[in-house]
């Protein structure tokens, strides 16, 4: 608690100094700007009901408490394209004044790095106004017990079908990664609106499983319920370490050749972005700092933490400056390693 209090005091003092030293080009302070705005918008890259939507709506409610004037933050869902459409909107279309922010699909920031023009991404990820991430994630491969193959070794011999929202998302990429590195036969069916629809498709037998890019939201609770009922099982953990509750499920580092571990480690670093919140590029610096401080206070709010626990949403935040540094570092991956990664994860023509 002492550490949290110290961090808060330091952040508050730095923020107060920033407000005193500078204001926007119009001469209006960030505090005055937000007091004049009754409503802000939170862009969500998925349909209602999934993990991103749950985190976005939770943060929207609590960040409002810590923004001067307490403007309502209204969620606006913009599903499709694996989150790239929402990311492009935030970068190119949304007002650059701090009235619009959003949560990105964690795969979006590195889509240009991994897929180039194929990603249809029109943004420089390092130039977003990074607010923070609510949860540093791990991923999980899950499969129906009715699938024709339910283990890594069996899926090397028998084709299975997994669902995804789009070809550039982590779930689709994870399938290509395992297919290339260890010879699994996972065919991805793209176009689902979100994880709830994918789970329903598994129940109906339309697909056999999916890679969950986040093992922290309501999807985790659903899968554990299905495991208890005996209808689903875990396939592989997309993480460097095993979940303490699932020590019997191998990680991807356990199943890939040692020489390919640097490839996997770079891709796993994307999971640290977890549930990333950003504002468009070009938002005045004092407003960005205000949003970052509101995010920090919200993530440390006991009421938010209690509500997150009730919704079974795990929290392990990354602050805005840290998230921005992480993105910049990923874009500094050595060219030779990056080319090998691109050949693996790129969408087949």
Q: Model-level pTM? A: 0.70
Look-up of token digits 């590029």: 281
Average pLDDT over residues 170-176: 90
CA–CA gap between residue 307 and residue 56 (Å, rounded): 13
CA–CA gap between residue 83 and residue 90 (Å, rounded): 11
Question: Three-state DSSP class for 346?
Answer: coil
Question: Three-state DSSP class for 305?
Answer: helix
- Give the model's pLDDT for residue 213: 79
Q: How confident is the model at residue 348 (pLDDT cuts 50, 70, 90)?
A: low
- Give the model's pLDDT for residue 347: 64
CA–CA gap between residue 182 and residue 172 (Å, rounded): 16
CA–CA gap between residue 348 and residue 330 (Å, rounded): 23
Give me the chain's average pLDDT, please. Answer: 89
pLDDT in tens, 135-146: 887 889 999 999
- Per cent of the chain over pLDDT 90 is 64
Q: Does 5 have pLDDT greater than 50?
A: no
Q: Which residues pair with 142 in a beta bridge?
A: 210, 234
- Give the model's pLDDT for residue 344: 81
pLDDT in tens, 237-294: 998 888 888 999 999 999 999 989 988 988 887 777 889 999 999 999 999 999 999 9
Q: Does 69 have pLDDT greater than 80?
A: yes
Q: Does 10 have pLDDT greater than 60?
A: no
What domains, with CATH codes, occur in the chain?
A: 2-136+274-345 (3.40.190.150), 139-269 (3.40.190.10)
Q: Does 15 have pLDDT greater than 80?
A: no
pLDDT in tens, 99-121: 999 999 988 998 888 888 888 99
Residue 142 gets the label, from left (phi > 0), alpha (psi -120 to 50) or beta, of: beta
Residue among 212, 230, 211, 215 at smallest CA distance from 160: 211
DSSP 141-152: EEEETTSS--SH
- Give the model's pLDDT for residue 8: 41
CA–CA gap between residue 91 and residue 23 (Å, rounded): 23
Look-up of token digits 């460097």: 240
Q: How confident is the model at residue 194 (pLDDT cuts 50, 70, 90)?
A: confident
Q: Does 312 have pLDDT greater than 90?
A: no
Helices (H), 23-169: 30-35, 51-63, 84-88, 111-115, 152-155
Q: Which residue has better confidence, 213 or 7?
A: 213
| Residue 281, Cβ density class (10 Å: 0-12 exposed, 13-18 middle, ≥19 buried) | middle
Helices (H), the chain: 2-21, 30-35, 51-63, 84-88, 111-115, 152-155, 170-182, 195-204, 218-229, 252-255, 261-269, 285-299, 302-310, 320-330, 335-345
In the structure encoding, which two tokens stand for residue 285, read together?
């610096």
* Residues 212 and 219 sit within 8 Å (Cβ to Cβ): yes
CA–CA gap between residue 252 and residue 237 (Å, rounded): 6
CA–CA gap between residue 57 and residue 163 (Å, rounded): 25
């Amino acid at each position: 608690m002492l550490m949290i209090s110290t961090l808060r005091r330091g952040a508050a003092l730095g923020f107060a100094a920033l407000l005193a030293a500078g204001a926007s080009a119009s001469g209006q302070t960030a505090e005055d700007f937000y007091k004049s705005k009754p409503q802000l918008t939170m862009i969500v890259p998925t349909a209602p009901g999934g993990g991103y939507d749950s985190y976005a709506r939770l943060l929207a409610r609590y960040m409002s408490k810590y923004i001067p004037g307490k403007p309502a933050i209204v969620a606006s869902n913009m599903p499709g394209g694996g989150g790239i459409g929402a990311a492009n909107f935030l970068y190119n279309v949304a007002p650059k004044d701090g009235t619009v922010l959003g949560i990105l699909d964690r795969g979006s920031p590195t889509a240009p790095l991994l897929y180039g023009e194929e990603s249809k991404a029109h943004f420089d990820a390092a130039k977003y106004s990074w607010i923070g991430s609510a949860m540093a994630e791990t991923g999980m491969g899950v499969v129906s017990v009715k699938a024709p193959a339910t283990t890594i070794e069996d899926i090397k011999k028998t084709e299975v079908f997994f669902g995804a929202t789009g070809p550039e998302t982590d779930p689709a990429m994870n399938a290509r990664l395992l297919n290339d590195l260890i010879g699994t036969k996972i065919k991805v069916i793209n176009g689902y609106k979100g994880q709830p629809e994918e789970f329903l498709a598994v129940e109906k037998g339309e697909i056999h499983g999916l890679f969950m890019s986040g093992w922290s939201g309501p999807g985790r609770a659903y899968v554990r319920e299905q495991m208890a009922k005996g209808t689903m099982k875990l396939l592989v953990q997309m993480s460097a370490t095993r979940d303490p509750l699932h020590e019997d499920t191998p990680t991807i580092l356990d199943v890939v050749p040692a020489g390919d571990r640097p490839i996997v480690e770079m891709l796993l670093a994307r999971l640290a972005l977890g549930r990333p919140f950003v504002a468009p590029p070009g938002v005045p610096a004092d407003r960005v700092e205000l949003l970052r401080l509101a995010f920090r206070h919200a993530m440390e709010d006991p009421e938010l933490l209690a509500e997150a626990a009730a919704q079974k949403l795990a929290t392990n935040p990354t602050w805005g400056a840290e998230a921005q540094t992480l993105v910049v570092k990923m874009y500094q991956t050595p060219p030779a390693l990056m080319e090998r990664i691109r050949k693996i994860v790129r969408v087949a023509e």
